[in-house]
């Protein structure tokens, strides 16, 4: 059971200073009352109010104790170390020895409980937040949960260690020209994990149209529908084919940049049809040789191969073979 120190700070001074001290004392006592009932968030608010009016290592110690009780280990560590620092600057007179001993024990415990994530960030210049807050640097260590909510800041390097409280966190990586990466993960107490974070480049938008209706569009070999189509694709190179029966297929290669919007207009040209399949040609031939060469014409007819009726293949222009 945590026990907050109930050391009443006595201040000297007159008038407004005494008033402030009284208010600080009242807030301190309020905080200790909440602490006894394990109402740690209320206690924290009261101790912070007291510290603002009258800073003291004991008050800071109690704030750290509340933060530890609330599971905010990264904050608690910073606060407890600050309490030791305050005490040292005051000539080691403000904190009792047993409180210092307790604190050292808590700091060891916190070290065992916090999680460490090795983040690998690609690209390195991307901005990063954890739970909507930018990272803080404590000495040589990067820590989450210490700063107020705000926009992300560039990651310190391509790979670095980040200290987090155990529990659920949302890590967001962003950079202009790329889609955000949001990783939601629960970190166990004392865990050591790797978290790769790689941004995907913003997709490009491709709009494909044609002057011919019902033309089929293939992008990268996949059927994506009939014109007009609007697609989103990762940046890169793609082969685009637009085809329709009776027309010469339109083929092109496009190179898409991140966030680019590109419109392709596929102009389809009719296929040239052989004269030999035109009905009026054979009618004209028959008329010319009729009468004088009817017999020869009949022999020629019997030796000709009949013209096949073209296959339908349906709207998908697919004739699959039966087996």
Partner 1 sequence: MRVWALAAFVLVACAPQARVLGEALVVVDTDLSVPQHVNRLRIDLYDASASKWYASRDVARTKPTDWPASFAIVPPENGSADVLVRLRAYADGHVRDYRGERFRVRDDGAFCAMDECKADSPPACCAIFVPPEVEHDGQPRLFRDDSQDTTPPTEPEPNVTIDRLLRIHVTHDARTKTALVLRGSCVGTMADLRGMRTCVDTEAVLVPISDGSDPSPASSLVGSFAARVEQRCSSATLRASSPLHDEEVCVDGGVFILGGRDGFALGAASNWPERFAIVSPFVLDKYEVTVGRWRDAMAHGFPLSPRVRGVGDERCTFTTAPGMFENHPVNCIVFDEAKAFCEYQGGELPSEVEWEWAARAAGRPSPTRYPWGADEEAPDCARGIWGRSPLVNDQCLGARAIGTGSVDEDDGDVSPLGIVKLGGNVGEFVRDASASRLARCWLAAPLASPGCIADGGKRLSRGGNWGGAFVYMAGDNARPELLGTARFPNVGLRCKRSP
Residue 169 has phi, psi (to 5 degrees) of -135, 155
Distance, CA of 267 to CA of 32 (rounded, Å): 81
The interface with partner 1 within residues 282-311 (CB under 8 A) comprises 282-283, 286-287, 290-291, 294, 297-298, 301-302, 304, 306-309, 311
Closest by CA to 98, choosing from 174, 205, 7, is: 7
Min separation Cβ 106 and partner 1, Å:
19
229 interacts with partner 1 by CB under 8 A: yes
The number of residues that bind partner 1 (CB under 8 A) is 46
Token couple for 17? 């200073």
- 127, 114 contact by CB (below 8 A): no
Min separation Cβ 151 and partner 1, Å:
11
Q: Which is nearer to partner 1, 93 or 274 (CB)?
A: 274
**What count of other Cβ atoms lies within 10 Å of the Cβ of residue 285?**
12
Q: Which is nearer to partner 1, 8 or 316 (CB)?
A: 316
**What count of other Cβ atoms lies within 10 Å of the Cβ of residue 48?**
16
Token couple for 11? 């201040």
Among 224, 241, 249, 262, binds partner 1 (CB under 8 A): 224
Min separation Cβ 18 and partner 1, Å:
31
274 interacts with partner 1 by CB under 8 A: no
275 interacts with partner 1 by CB under 8 A: no
Residue 241, SS3 per DSSP: strand
Q: Which is nearer to partner 1, 54 or 72 (CB)?
A: 72
Give residues with Cβ within 8 angstroms of 135, minimum separation 6: 128, 129, 142, 143, 144, 147, 153, 156, 162
Closest by CA to 175, choosing from 150, 194, 157, 201, is: 201
Q: Which is nearer to partner 1, 222 or 237 (CB)?
A: 222
The interface with partner 1 within residues 157-186 (CB under 8 A) comprises 168, 170, 184
Helix or strand run (H / E) with residue 181: strand 181-187
Q: Which is nearer to partner 1, 16 or 149 (CB)?
A: 149
The interface with partner 1 within residues 121-140 (CB under 8 A) comprises 131-132
Distance, CA of 246 to CA of 201 (rounded, Å): 39
What is the residue-wise DSSP string for 188-211? -TT-EEEEEEEPEEPPEEEEEEES
- 128, 153 contact by CB (below 8 A): yes
71 interacts with partner 1 by CB under 8 A: yes
Among 24, 28, 31, 40, binds partner 1 (CB under 8 A): 40
Q: Which is nearer to partner 1, 95 or 126 (CB)?
A: 126
Q: Which is nearer to partner 1, 99 or 173 (CB)?
A: 173
Which positions lie near partner 1, rule CB under 8 A? 39-41, 44, 70-71, 131-132, 149, 168, 170, 184, 222-226, 229, 282-283, 286-287, 290-291, 294, 297-298, 301-302, 304, 306-309, 311-316, 318-323
């Amino acid at each position: 059971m945590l026990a907050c120190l109930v050391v009443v700070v006595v201040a000297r001074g007159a008038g407004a200073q005494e008033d402030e001290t009284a208010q600080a004392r009242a807030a301190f006592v309020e905080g200790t009352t909440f602490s006894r009932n394990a109402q740690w968030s209320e206690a924290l608010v009261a101790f912070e109010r007291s510290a603002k009016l009258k800073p003291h290592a004991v008050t800071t110690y109690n704030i750290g104790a509340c933060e530890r009780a609330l599971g905010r280990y990264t904050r608690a560590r910073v606060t407890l170390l600050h309490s030791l620092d305050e005490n040292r600057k005051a000539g080691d007179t403000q904190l009792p020895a047993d409180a210092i001993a307790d604190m050292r024990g808590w700091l060891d415990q916190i070290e065992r409980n916090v999680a460490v994530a090795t983040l690998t960030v690609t690209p390195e210049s991307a901005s990063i937040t954890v739970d909507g807050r930018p990272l803080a640097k404590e000495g040589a260590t990067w820590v989450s949960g210490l700063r107020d909510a705000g926009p992300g800041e560039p990651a310190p390097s391509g790979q670095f260690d980040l200290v987090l409280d155990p529990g659920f966190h949302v890590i967001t990586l962003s950079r202009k020209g790329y889609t955000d990466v949001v990783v939601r993960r629960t970190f166990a107490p004392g865990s050591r994990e790797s978290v790769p974070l790689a941004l995907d480049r913003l997709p490009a938008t491709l709009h494909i149209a044609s002057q011919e209706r019902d033309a089929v569009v293939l992008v990268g070999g996949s059927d994506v529908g009939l014109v007009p189509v609007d697609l989103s694709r990762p940046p890169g190179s793609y082969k685009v084919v637009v085809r329709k029966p009776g027309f010469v297929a339109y083929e092109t290669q496009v190179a898409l940049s991140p966030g680019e919007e590109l419109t392709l207009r596929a102009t389809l040209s009719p296929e040239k049809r052989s004269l030999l399949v035109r009905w009026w040609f054979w009618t004209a031939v028959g008329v010319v040789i009729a009468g004088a060469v009817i017999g020869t014409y009949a022999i020629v007819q019997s030796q000709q191969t009949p013209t096949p009726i073209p296959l339908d293949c349906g709207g998908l222009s697919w004739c699959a073979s039966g087996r």
